[in-house]
Each structure stands twice: as C-alpha cells, then as structure tokens.
Chain A
Amino acid sequence: MDASESLFKWESMRDVGALTLPYEQPIQGKVFEVELSSGPRVQVFRAGDGQFYFCHGLTFGGKHAPGGAVSPFSGTDVRTILDNHYRRLDAESEAVVGDILVWRGLGDDTPHSAILTEPVVLPGTDYLAYSSRVRTKNGRLPEAEMTLDRLTGDEFTYGDSFHVFRRS
C-alpha cells in the first residue's frame, strides 16, 4: 500500500450536522461521515474556515481533503482507521520515518497522534527515546515538529502510553 494514498473516499462525504468544538476559542464547523477506502465509515470534523484541523487530521491525511481540511474524531473513529489500515509494531525500535504514534486515553479514547520524522532508539531497550522527533498538531495549537519529550513530558502531558503503527 502506498502510504501517500488517501485512506478516505472523499466523494462519499456526507454532511451529518453542525458541531462546535469546545476549545477556549470555540471552533464552529460540521461533522461529515466518510467512507474509508477499505469500506467502513468514520466521522470527521471540518471547521467552517476549511483550514483548521487537529492531530488526527495531520496524522491520517485529512488536512489535504478536497474542499477543506477534515479530522477524524478521537476514539471510535481513529480506532476504526487503525483497525483497517494500520498494524501495531511489536517493538518501538522497529519504527521508521513515516510511522505514526497514537496515544491511549481513558477507555477507547485516542487523545493524540503524531507522525514520526526521526526515530531514535533508547540504548539497550526496544523503546523510542525522547529525542525522537515527530510532526504533530497539538489540539488547536499550530502544527510543529518537536522532540518526543515535549509530548510525553512537562509540556503536553500525553504521557508514555503510545503505540507505534505502520500503514498496512
């Protein structure tokens, strides 16, 4: 599978309804249902300006959607994408550029995801080191490249509870 190939059948997008994201500065937009290239349908958010997206929009390519960026919702929708288009790596040390990191939250929540741009393995372990670099869009904050320690540690607090996935 070509990793640049879209996961989504954009022509299948269907308007579900309006939604306002409850950030400090609320973001108004719409929910759409879209079919994955593998068949299942997921729901995504598109802001009214067509520009805004959150982490899963970056990670899964929704930011490039025709007609404006979209972002799959955390939780069920992200898990549906993972189940149908990705495989979880047994060891983080196998990670390569372009693999993705998905954090686990309460229940089935997936509060964050990012794209690995520079994997560094912690010596003597199967784990990625905090000096590894990722491309990330943290909520409504600007997209940026940063070291993993900023996401797991004292700045963004997503923690160490992530898994590495590769497009299958």
Chain B
Amino acid sequence: MNEATRTPAAQTKPQLSPPLACRLRRKEVLGREGPIPYMGEFELENCSSEAVEIEYTLTPLQFLELEVTGPGRTTISEGHFSDRFSPTRETAVLRLIPGEKFTANVALLATVPRAKRLPGTYTVQASYSFRSVRVTAEPLTVEVSRES
C-alpha cells in the first residue's frame, strides 16, 4: 500500500446502514519509471453518524478483498489482498469520524498472478468486510492490452 490519505468530513451525514461505503476507481499513479499500469484508488467512507474505529495489524486494507473476473467471465483472482503484508506487533487503529474518507492506492489486478493476465477485459469487484459488515464497491472494468 502506498500514499494512503484521509479526507476530513465535509459534513455529518444522517445515520445510514451499513455504516461504511467503499468505492474503487482508476487512478494514474506515477512511479520512478513513469505511469504504473492498472492502478486504482480505494476509498472507504464512514457514512454513519458515529466514529468508526478499525483495528488492524497488517494494513488498513487488511479487510479489503479484490475479486477479479477475467475475459472468460470466470474468477481468476487468488488469495486475499492483505496476504502480501507483514504484521506489526502493536494493533493500529484507523478512526474515521462521520463523513470522513480514507483512500489508498491499490493495484487493481493485485490478486491476479501475472501469468494469468492475458489481453482482454477484466472486472474488479472490491469489497471491505469489518465487524460482520461487508460493503461492496461498484465493479470496475480494466482493459489489459498486452501480457504483463
């Protein structure tokens, strides 16, 4: 994960259910050798009227799942997004006040091994599960024009 940011609440919203909402969108991310392909931004918003505290020991994205459907319309993603991170000893807390958003850059095809990435259209479904609440983002399509 890199460049995680938090956006202050614009205004307090009325109580909604579920308390969290998540979104996934494309984002151009520049690396030291130019744009990094297939990058996106994951956003988590506290839609409730109370602060939400998310405890984690891997990353705030510990509860993110990226399920990817390949050109053959079958699920080709493997494993869990957070399986690539190493744990801290201390538990950290991401605290979002009502209306506040947390964003982080993510590789849209992170859970798809490179060997499986053939040219075609992929659909990425992000979901975030926390305290028995699972919220999903609108699916995002990604065009792979070459083997990467």
Judge: A and B partners, yes or no: yes
- Give A residues with C-beta under 8 Å from B: 21-24, 31, 43, 45, 54-56, 71, 73-77, 105-107, 109-113, 122, 125, 127, 129-130, 138-141, 149-150, 152-161
Main SS of the interface on chain A?
loop
Interchain CB contact (< 8 A) of A154 among B38, B58, B79, B86: B38
Interchain CB contact (< 8 A) of A153 among B37, B79, B83, B84: B37
Could you name 22 residue pairs across A and B whose Cβ atoms are closer than 8 Å? A22-B57, A73-B87, A73-B88, A74-B88, A75-B88, A75-B89, A105-B59, A106-B92, A109-B88, A113-B86, A129-B33, A130-B31, A139-B83, A152-B36, A153-B36, A153-B37, A153-B39, A154-B108, A154-B110, A156-B84, A159-B105, A161-B2
Contact A74 B86, beta carbon cutoff 8 Å: yes
- Among B35-92, those with CB < 8 Å from A are 36-39, 57-60, 62, 79-80, 82-90, 92
Q: Given contacts A22-B58, A105-B59, are A31 and B89 in contact (CB under 8 A)?
A: yes
Contact A154 B88, beta carbon cutoff 8 Å: no
Interface residue tally on B, bucketed by range: 35 or more
Tell me how far the C-beta of A34 lies from the nearest C-beta in chain B, rounded to whole angstroms.
13
Q: Is B106 an interface residue (CB 8 A)?
A: yes
Contact B89 A139, beta carbon cutoff 8 Å: no
Please give, as numbers and ranges, the residues of chain A lying within 8 Å of B86 by CB-CB distance: 54-56, 71, 73-74, 110-113, 139
